[in-house]
Amino acid sequence: MKLVVGLGNPGRKYHGTRHNIGFAVIGRLVDRYGSGKVRVRNQGELTEANLDGVRVLLLCPQTYMNRSGSSVQPACDFYQIEPHDLLVICDDFNLQLGKIRFRRAGSAGGQKGLADTIQRMGSDAVPRLRIGIGPVPERWDPADFVLGRFSADDVELADEMVGRAADATVAWANEDIEHCMNQYNG
């Protein structure tokens, strides 16, 4: 069993924002591979999926971004998920729109939902898939940027990136993080 977590903020107000790109990837995976209905568990929306033969739980924490770990850590405990079988999907405004990047471990790089998850898990060895939403335009507050929506010019590229991230997540479930780093971090 593996757990894939998409980070974002709950509620209609945040639907479609750059910060909710993790939720968008989970939504794409649920549409393609979901089995069963969405359940509310561990302060999140949880769905089972079969990613090309691998049983996976898909989780969207409903705790707001900065408290994501309070959903992720109890889910890992309850389902006995080892850290290497966890993948956190989040936005990264330091990455160019259209880029995705896998990492096995490391700092949160300013992503507060990832930082809370790392802190609650007690280790920075939390595999993650960062999705580029940047760069932040000059003179923009990064918080306003991430909570904004993609421009009309960027919507198509963002949608393609969500699809590529969903495909990369399937590869992660069936291969390993090393394979994905080599395949997708170009």
Whether 122 contacts 39, CB under 8 Å:
no
Residue 178 has pLDDT above 90, yes or no: yes
Number of domains in the chain: 1
As a whole number of angstroms, the distance between CA 113 and CA 51 comes to 25
Residues 100-149 pLDDT 10s: 999 999 999 999 999 999 999 999 999 999 999 999 999 999 999 999 99
Whether 147 contacts 14, CB under 8 Å:
yes
Q: Is the pTM of this model over 0.85?
A: yes
Q: Which domain holds residue 124?
A: 2-184
Where residue 182 falls among pLDDT bands split at 50, 70, 90?
Answer: very high
Strand 34-41, strand 2-6: pairing:
unpaired
Exposure on the CB side of residue 81, measured as CA atoms within 13 A? 27
Whether 89 contacts 2, CB under 8 Å:
no
| Cα separation of the two ends of the chain | 28
Residue 186 has pLDDT above 80, yes or no: no
Residues 56-102 pLDDT 10s: 999 999 999 999 999 999 999 999 999 999 999 999 999 999 999 99
User: Which residue in 15, 19, 84, 179 is the catalytic one?
Assistant: 19
Residue 180 has pLDDT above 90, yes or no: yes
Active site residue 19: yes
What is the secondary structure of 43-93 as a DSSP string?
TEEEEEEEETTEEEEEEEE-S-GGGTHHHHHHHHHHHT--GGGEEEEEEEE
Q: How many CB atoms lie within 10 A of CB 139?
A: 5
Q: What is the mean pLDDT of residues 152-177?
A: 97
Residues 30-49 pLDDT 10s: 999 998 899 999 999 999 99
Beta bridge partner(s), residue 147? none
Q: Is omega for the bond preceding 135 within 30 degrees of 0, making it cis?
A: yes
Where residue 126 sits, what CATH number does that domain have?
Answer: 3.40.50.1470
State residue 166 phi and psi, 5-degree precision.
-65, -45
